[in-house]
């Protein structure tokens, strides 16, 4: 699959080679921005996100025990919405916070994802994403944030 980075002046994500899967690294000044760009990259695997108009906005909330689980759950939730409601997204507003609950740290992501229903006449059909994986998943927070994701296609 040949996919170009969609914003070369302010790199949001870049793909790397993984046998039989798709891998990418998403970037952001904050963890929230990197998670939003990770979602954008996932939908870029599915279709050309530059053709997706923000007609419908979904509000999502995900809670997890750590940041990797939060990334996995966030992308999996978006994939579930895509698979069940046939929506594709191109714009993401993400807010991440952590709280202490019963002595345990809980990570909470609240987001809005904007897009529209997938239409073959408008949207290019690229690869079907079967699942998000934990394989090689990584989160780095040095000089901004970067998250690495492998998708099963």
**Numbered residues of the known binding site:** 21, 152-153
Q: Which residues are annotated as a binding site for Ca(2+)?
A: 21, 152-153
H-type alpha helices, the chain:
31-46, 67-85
- φ and ψ at 87, to 5 degrees? -100, 145
Phi-psi region of 49 (alpha: psi -120 to 50; beta: other; left: phi over 0): alpha
Per the CB < 8 A criterion, the answer to whether 148 and 22 are in contact is no
């Amino acid at each position: 699959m040949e996919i170009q980075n969609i914003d070369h002046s302010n790199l949001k994500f870049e793909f790397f080679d993984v046998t039989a899967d798709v891998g990418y690294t998403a970037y952001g000044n904050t963890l929230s921005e990197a998670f939003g760009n990770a979602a954008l990259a996932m939908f870029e695997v599915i279709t050309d996100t530059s053709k997706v108009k923000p007609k419908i906005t979904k509000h999502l909330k995900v809670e997890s025990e750590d940041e990797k689980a939060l990334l996995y759950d966030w992308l999996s939730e978006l994939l579930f919405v895509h698979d069940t409601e046939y929506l594709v997204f191109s714009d993401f507003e993400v807010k991440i916070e952590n709280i202490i609950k019963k002595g345990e740290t809980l990570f909470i992501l609240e987001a809005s994802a904007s897009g529209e229903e997938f239409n073959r006449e408008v949207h290019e059909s690229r690869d079907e994403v079967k699942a998000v994986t934990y394989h090689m998943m990584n989160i780095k927070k040095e000089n901004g944030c970067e998250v690495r994701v492998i998708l099963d296609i």
